[in-house]
Chains A and B, each alone.
Chain A
Amino acid sequence: MLGGIYRQFKVKTAAIVNLGDKTIVVPTNEHDYLVPQSYRSSSRVMAGMFGPLVQNLSTKNMFFAVPNAELKSRSFSKGYDLDQFDGLSVSSINRPFSRLMASTKDKCSIERWCNPFALITDGTRNINTFLYQMPVVRLSQNLLKMFHKSKLELTNPKYELFGIPGVTVFIDKGEAADELLEKLLNVPLSFDGDGIVVSRQWKSQIKVLSTLNEEIPLPTVFKMQGAARSKGITIGEFEANRLLVKVGDSIMPVDVLMNTQGKRKNKAANLIASGMRLRKYLGESVERIDTVNVEQLIELKSKYPIVRGTLILDGNEIGEVVVGINKFYLDLTHDMNPKVAKPHISYVQAQQIFETLDFPLLERFEKRDVRPELSLHDEQLTVIDGLITKLALYRREELI
């Protein structure tokens, strides 16, 4: 592969400024910051499939990145009301409001169009994977047809946003699920850690497109996410013909196996939405969703209860399961393949822990002689210490 998976996109930046009793969002540029690099790193984002969307929204002042940098001047007078934005943390929980998306609702339109049940979904967001980490993919005709036949209809825009569809069986964590996984994968894997299992044939229908338009197969292990942050890595693969699911008169190969998603508030986004897509795919009429109408969203949960089917493993019916067509986003930002490497142990922490535990592990490992390097660092520290002491004295002396 010569090209990369992600490309750089330029977005507008803004600062959140207190102005009297109001908090406003002020668009900024490079010259507003003490350290211009902080501006530059925030204004250029790496993204995949939805990078152009982010860039377009930003051009129209609908999306701002908020650099984590000190402003030079605080004399801002004009800006947008902070209430006009949905503040996202984007990457985990470290910096809330590091991205601002124009919105009159608790959750911005993009998130609602991606997850129509967003307004009744748990607070944790899936939008980072959606906006940035989802690579450009080319799907097989079969999967594209499945997406178009199953996509949920909305009042505005007409349809939910694109994601990779897959016939998904949701299984409760526990011994029965573990037994199924062991039969399917020959390794006693478990759903307890929220991993995801996929069929080889489903995976082979998804090709990643590099920035030079090369088709790349998905790696052995990759991270997937449904709506409502139901994320996990792929812990195993099975042959599609071994696992089928029967819903009414239809028998379909299972594409994805995952757990039933513990959080009550995530069930609508995962199980109900997937069930509605499957109903539509199988020819049932499904109501159009108004993503801002919370009452309707709650009603839909009882109107379209979860879909159940019979799971068939190697030709034998093994029990009833929850089934649907889930919509997935991928995260290929990390190489997940196993490798032989230097372990991730910080010396000080490891030393303290092993001493406390009286676990003489570190003594067993060979050590390189680092005395010459350490003595050089000692000399450097002595020089700098001397200089600091000397300079500190200047302030007490006659200056002229």
Chain B
Amino acid sequence: MINSCPRFDSKTDALLWLAEELPELHDVYVLFSNIIDGDQINGIPVFPQSIADELDKLHELPLWFNGEVTMIPVDSRSLYWEIETELDEAYESELGVEMESYYAATALLNSVINLNISATFVCSAIDETSFNKSLQVYIDKLNHLEAGILKMAASEITESYLIKSLRARHMTISRKARNFYVPAKEFDTLLTSRVTLNHLIVVDGNYAYCHKAKGAAELLGKMGINVEHIVECGLGKLSWLVNHVDLNKDTIVSTVFRHPIIGYVAFGSTKPAEINGIGVPADISEKLDGDDDGDIIDLVPLVVLRNQQVEFVSTTLD
């Protein structure tokens, strides 16, 4: 195993040697060397559509080590992402050209390419000491890749929730106020969106209408809203109910998260107003550790109380 492959002067040489050694994987290693040889932004390889198209064809990537190849299954969507800048559209209209799409390698693709290069470094060691040392570095890189995959899995789970919020800057309002104040236009867009309708509960007398009943009674109970009947209904009916909300008669109850959530969340009645942030009463701000120096707050509407005018704010601690 020691000195079982040549020592290469460049990463590209190592990848092209692997391409020659492994004819069945020749094209993949040439693709890797093209990626490494191309442009970089802050050390991350970037490439044009043609390379992205080649990557789309791959369902597994090789990890070479001392003549043996282990294939790691991949989804091509996890190998690159499109680089888009705010200026693309402006340039396109200004210059009258269509900007070519450009892509950047993900950490997963980067790791796999680098592991292949590192493997040639380990196997070209000329004595036991340097072999063991470089092998340990290689194993550390594998552990790093493993950690990266675990992180991706965690983020898949996080991303699996289909929630939308009104995200804005925290603005403190008077202690006397008993509402969350929200920018009217953005709040209306959120309230009437399909994602919100999916979890919204409309309470009308003793009936609570919602698309899915799971957790509805418990959530209402936690907010001190008690109803006798939970009725599942279609999104069409909910949409009609939401589009007929009259804030002179009805109340919208929302929940508020301060990122990071510091142990509890706030909820309360919500008042659209001429404000460009989310207004949180000062006593609740203190509990959420929010002030007006740029803190971000997310607000999610949860319940519409029909024909009930109430003003309250509370936290899960109260």
Contacts and interface: CB of A to CB of B under 8 A. Distances in A.
Interface in A336-362: 336-350, 353, 357-362
A359 B42 contact: no
Interface in A348-380: 348-350, 353, 357-370, 373-374, 376-377, 379-380
A361 B316 CA distance: 12
Nearest to B217: A360
A314 to B, nearest CB: 18
Given A2-B94, A377-B152, A343 B257 contact: yes
B229 interface: no
B225 interface: no
Contacts, number: 267
Given A186-B274, A358-B222, A363 B215 contact: yes
Interface stretch (A11-19, A137-145, A228-236, A289-297): A228-236
Nearest to A338: B168
Contacts of A358: 222
Interface residues of B, number: 97
Contacts of A182: 174
B207 interface: no
A388 B143 contact: yes
B260 A349 contact: yes
Chain A contact surface mostly? mixed
A381 interface: yes
Interface string B301-312: 010000000000
Contacts of B190: 340
Contacts of A373: 75, 153, 156
Contacts of A366: 161-162, 195, 198-199, 212
Given A193-B285, A220-B276, A187 B181 contact: yes
B165 A361 contact: no
B65 interface: yes
A376 B170 CA distance: 39
A345 B1 CA distance: 48
A364 B232 CA distance: 13
Contact of B146 (A190, A338, A388, A400): A388
A395 interface: yes
Interface string A173-192: 00100100110011111111
A93 interface: no
A167 to B, nearest CB: 21
Contacts of B139: 388, 391-392
B58 interface: no
A191 B142 CA distance: 52
Nearest to B273: A187
A339 B165 CA distance: 8
B101 interface: no
A288 to B, nearest CB: 34
B65 A233 contact: no
Contact of A341 (B1, B72, B167, B177): B167
B248 interface: no
B128 A399 contact: yes
Contact of A394 (B135, B173, B273): B135
B171 interface: yes
B117 to A, nearest CB: 16
Contacts of B75: 373, 376
Contacts of A196: 292
A377 B153 contact: yes
A308 B135 CA distance: 73
A104 to B, nearest CB: 32
A190 B275 contact: no
14 contacts: A185-B274, A190-B172, A336-B277, A340-B164, A341-B165, A343-B257, A348-B154, A360-B222, A365-B163, A366-B161, A368-B160, A376-B74, A384-B142, A395-B132
Given A178-B174, A193-B170, A361-B302, 20 more contacts: A175-B176, A187-B274, A188-B176, A188-B181, A190-B175, A231-B293, A235-B292, A336-B294, A338-B277, A340-B165, A343-B167, A345-B257, A360-B218, A360-B219, A363-B218, A364-B212, A376-B73, A377-B150, A383-B71, A394-B135
Interface of A: 1-2, 37, 40-41, 175, 178, 181-182, 185-196, 220-221, 223, 231-233, 235-236, 334, 336-350, 353, 357-370, 373-374, 376-377, 379-381, 383-388, 391-392, 394-395, 399-400
